[in-house]
Structure 1
Amino acid sequence: MLKRISLFVLTNLLVVTTIIVITSLLGVNRFIYENGIYISELLIFSLVVGFTGSLFSLWISRWMAIQLMGVYIIHPQQPRNNVEQMLVEKVHGLAKKAGLPVMPKVGIYDSPEVNAFATGPSKRRSLVAVSTGLLQHMDEQAIEGVLAHEIAHIANGDMVTMTLLQGIINTFVEFLSRVISFIISKFVREELAHIVYLISYFVFSMVFSLLGILVVFAFSRKREYAADKGGAKLAGKEKMIHALRQLQSSLGWIDNSHAAVSTLKINNQQKHSLFSTLFSTHPSLEERIEYLQTLK
Structure 2
Amino acid sequence: MSWTIIVLITLCISVIPTGFGILLVPLIGLVGAIIGLPFSQWLVKRAHNVSVITRDNPEHSDYFWLYDLVSNLAQKANIPTPEIGIYESLDMNAFASGATPNSSVVAFSTALIEKITISEIEAIAAL
TM range (shorter): 0.7 to 0.9
RMSD (Å) for aligned C-alpha atoms: 2.7
- Residue identity matched to 1:124: N
Structure 2 vs 1, CA of residues 104 and 79 (structure 1 numbering), >3 Å: closer, same or farther? farther
Residue 15 of structure 1, aligned match among 6, 9, 14: 6
Percent identity, aligned pairs only?
Answer: 29
Deviation at 1:53, TM superposition (A): 0.9
Are 1:61 and 2:40 matched, yes or no?
Answer: yes
Residue 80 of structure 1, aligned match among 56, 59, 62: 59
Give the structure 1 partner of residue 109 of structure 2: 131
Q: C-alpha offsets along residues 7-43 of structure 1, whole Å, 9 cap, x if unaligned?
A: xxx77532235669xx9xxxxxxxxx9xxx586xx84
Deviation at 1:104, TM superposition (A): 0.2
Structure 2 vs 1, CA of residues 46 and 88 (structure 1 numbering), >3 Å: closer, same or farther? same
Is the 1:105–1:127 Cα contact (8 Å) retained in structure 2? Answer: yes
Give the structure 2 partner of residue 118 of structure 1: 96
Structure 1, unaligned runs of 5 or more: 1-9, 24-32, 150-296
Deviation at 1:110, TM superposition (A): 0.5
TM-score with structure 2 setting the length: 0.79
- Residue identity matched to 2:125: L
Structure 2, unaligned runs of 5 or more: none
Number of residue pairs aligned between Structure 1 and Structure 2? 121
Greater gyration radius: 1
- Residue identity matched to 1:70: N
Q: Which has the higher helix share?
A: 1
Structure 2 vs 1, CA of residues 96 and 79 (structure 1 numbering), >3 Å: closer, same or farther? farther
Is the 1:79–1:85 Cα contact (8 Å) retained in structure 2? Answer: no
Give the structure 1 partner of residue 118 of structure 2: 140
Which is bigger in relative contact order (C-alpha 8 A, separation at least 6)? Answer: 1
Specify the SS of the correspondent of 2:96: strand
Give the structure 2 partner of residue 229 of structure 1: none
